[in-house]
Amino acid sequence: MIRRTHHPHAIAPLHRPPNPCTRKYPPLTPTLLSAFNTQGFAVLPYRVLPPGVCASLRERYASLFRGEFDTGSYPDEWHWREGISHPTAPREICNGWKADSLIQAVVLSRTLGGIACELTGWPGSRLGQDDVL
């Protein structure tokens, strides 16, 4: 599911990493576009991310909250740390794309950007923020 949000300012990506998520997708139907415009979201009838990418993202979750950032950069916000935070406390990383190359590949993918542009009618898209929850 992709939700419509309104962000007057966005951050331009610094570079595009090799992307395992780029693939062709079927054009959106008038019914999907209408649902998005009236409800603010649309449920796509196909997988946006390949199952292998989803599995890899799940595998990275624990290591991110341990502070293992493969890009060498910290995210903007990092709420919950192993060994310090209560085990049942909510976890959040803001702008995880700065800290992890796989998250970067997903959130900066041409596929997601293309779908966002098609849904909104925009000529292009930029990342405002991602959240790892």
52-94 per-position pLDDT tens digit? 999 999 999 999 999 999 999 999 999 999 889 999 999 999 9
Where in the chain are the domains? 51-133
Cut 0.85: pTM above it:
no
Using alpha carbons, select from 18, 33, 13, 44 the residue that is nearest to residue 130: 13
| pLDDT of res. 110 | 85
Q: Is 26 exposed, middle or buried (0-12, 13-18, 19+ CB in 10 A)?
A: exposed
